[in-house]
Amino acid sequence: MTIEELRSRIDVLDRQLVELLNERARAALMIGHLKAATSLPVYEPNREKVIYSNVCAINKGPLPDSELMHIYERIIDVMRAIQRDELASERNAQGRRDDSLGHGAGADAPGTGNKQ
């Protein structure tokens, strides 16, 4: 294959990687919602160990496991961050809804004009 053909192949693979990473991010966001609903923490080190173990078990190279682990550490960091960001946005939106309904912590006490 020529360099141009190989680069075209890399471009196709990059498009596939982007699609898969976004699909993984959507799944991570859904997990984040379930974690919030069940009061589970966003950070679960045991689950991350399972992911690393799974990834290394299926790795056939040429990437060494150590380099693949570095890539997955970053992927997991990003997925955890978008879970936190999404959940924080939802909490903020919920707080604004509560405030607009007079249910927020700083709402006026009914009939008094004073803050609770």
CA dihedral 104, 110, 115, 116 (to 10 degrees): -70
Please state, in angstroms and rounded to a whole number, the distance separating the CA atoms of residues 95 and 32. Answer: 18
Residue 116 has pLDDT above 80, yes or no: no
Mean pLDDT along residues 110-114: 49
For the chain, domain boundaries: 43-89
Residue 110 has pLDDT above 60, yes or no: no
Residue 95 has pLDDT above 80, yes or no: no
What mean pLDDT do residues 40-60 have?
Answer: 95
Between the alpha carbon of residue 91 and those of residues 11, 30, 55, 94, the distances in Å are: 39, 15, 33, 5
Is pLDDT at 97 greater than 80 in this prediction?
Answer: no
Higher pLDDT among residues 11 and 43, named by residue: 11
Instruction: Spell 13-27 as b/e; 16+ CB within 10 A means b.
Output: eeeeeeeeeeeebee
**Mean per-residue pLDDT, 55-76:** 97
Instruction: Name the residue among 79, 63, 65 with its Cα closest to residue 24.
Output: 79
The confidence score (pLDDT) of residue 103 equals 61
